[in-house]
Amino acid sequence: MSASPSKSLGDLEKHQVGYFTTPLFTRRESIEETLAIFDATRSPAENSSILMRATHLYKVKPEKLEQLRQSLIKNQNFVHVELLHQSSDIGLTHKIFARHKSGKELQYDGVVYRLTEVIHAEDFGLDEIEKLAGYKGSFDPVVVEFENSIREIIPSLHMYSHTSLNFYTATPKSWEEVGIKAEGEPHLRLACKDMNIITITALIFSEAGKNYYVYLGEQTKTLQMIAHDTLISMELSGFVEFVANKRKTLHTAKETVLEELNGAIAPLHKLGLKHKNWNSIKSSWKTLGELRKAFNKFDLLIQAYEHISENRWAFFNGPRQIWLADEEKDDQEKIQHPCPNFFDAKLENSRITDISEKPDTPMYTGKIDELKKLIATIKDELVPVVDEENSLLTIFQTEFSLYAVWLAVLALFISLVSIVISIIVSGG
């Protein structure tokens, strides 16, 4: 396979796609509510549809975007700012469009942002990529300036609290001109190496070259696929944080076990302490039951995510066709459809090489594994705590049963004494 000397590519653009740790629009549905939708009687394929509801989970509030627009207008580094009623990369109905004095253009729908810079507006060939593109790092001051304006709307937003993915896009005139025989409309992730970058790996060692990626394919769909991957990464981060907080709850329940044991073995005259710790055990038991129920649902969630990953899907936007009677119809609201993920390849000596035989797994697959391992760890930690609480529950029940027997004996003794006294009095 040889690279075509013709100008086989067009529209080279550099992008940064990401999200802020505190989005402008928060989830309309709590994680508990999302988990409740998963159904063990449905297959992972059916449950996976729950994960692809961007326009359900995040509803645009134009008035908030207008506040952000007003904030951006005050920043003289942004020379043009608009609030557009136009579908975003993840299918939301409105977005902020802001052009920076540098020429870079930023779009933000309240959840996912994209910064775009035109690198080469004319046609070019594979042999020109290394001259036109290169590794630029992950830090872009335009995003930081944008972040400062968002902080006026969200004061709790910390400095540099955004995550990002940097890449280039280009559109092939045809796959044949690029030197590839393709069926359908594939999307290719081309790994390139910037040899001008030197990475110090140790005191006396260094590594030449730094990878960057050029995505080849229809640009609009490429940007939607990457935006949805970014959104899923954000969602997974939220699930990991949720589970981590549940782990703290588990550790709190574990720490109360010793105190509850002290109540169980306390003498009878400390009945108040016993009652307090009995209530503590009941509370812990309820907490542990809720944790077990949540983690059973998480198993279904993991299976749904793994179904997407194993099928090597990405997602793009399509028109929504059905609205409920009480919903306002908006043709800018889109729904998500699965498609094959990006195929991988390398650019070497101005030639495309090492094309993968099937699409790559999604970029967030590692986060699925992270969530899965965290849940497995907590399940292992949960077992001994449940056993200890079971033992304490048995101890308290046994002791209270013993107290009941003693009280019954005491009542019987008092009754007998009363009878004897009554007989003596009557006989006297």
Q: What is the pLDDT of residue 252?
A: 76
How many CB atoms are closer than 10 A to CB 69?
18
Task: Say if residues 114 and 16 touch (Cβ distance below 8 Å).
Answer: yes
Which residue matches tokens 């001109």? 177
Question: What distance in Å separates the CA atoms of residue 178 and residue 187, rounded to the nearest whole number?
Answer: 13
Among 131, 77, 130, 85, which residue's Cα sits nearest to residue 106? Answer: 77
Task: Say if residues 20 and 150 touch (Cβ distance below 8 Å).
Answer: yes
Task: Say if residues 334 and 87 touch (Cβ distance below 8 Å).
Answer: yes
Task: Say if residues 215 and 342 touch (Cβ distance below 8 Å).
Answer: yes
Question: What distance in Å separates the CA atoms of residue 291 and residue 285, rounded to the nearest whole number?
Answer: 10
Task: Give bridge partners of residue 124 from the DSSP assignment.
Answer: 9
Q: What is the pLDDT of residue 117?
A: 96
Q: What is the pLDDT of residue 410?
A: 66
Q: What is the largest CA-CA distance in the chain?
A: 129
- Cα–Cα distances (Å) from 155 to 63, 132, 150, 152, 158, in that order, read 17, 39, 8, 6, 8
Give domain limits for the chain. Answer: 1-25+60-217+340-359
Per DSSP (E only), the strands in 21-91 are 78-84
Which residue matches tokens 């043009």? 80
| pTM, 2 dp | 0.84
Structure tokens at 380: 């292992």
Each residue's pLDDT, cut to its tens digit, for the chain (428 residues) gives 344 457 899 999 999 999 999 999 999 999 999 999 999 999 999 999 999 999 999 999 999 999 999 999 999 999 999 999 999 999 999 999 999 999 999 999 999 999 999 999 999 999 999 899 998 877 899 999 999 999 999 998 887 778 889 999 999 998 988 888 888 889 999 999 987 776 666 566 556 778 999 999 999 999 999 999 999 999 999 999 999 998 887 777 776 655 555 555 445 444 455 555 555 656 666 677 677 788 889 999 999 999 999 999 999 999 988 888 887 889 999 999 999 999 999 999 889 999 999 999 999 999 999 999 999 998 888 777 666 655 555 555 555 554 555 566 666 667 776 776 777 777 65
Question: What distance in Å separates the CA atoms of residue 37 and residue 57, rounded to the nearest whole number?
Answer: 13
- Cα–Cα distances (Å) from 357 to 28, 186, 212, 218, in that order, read 40, 12, 21, 20
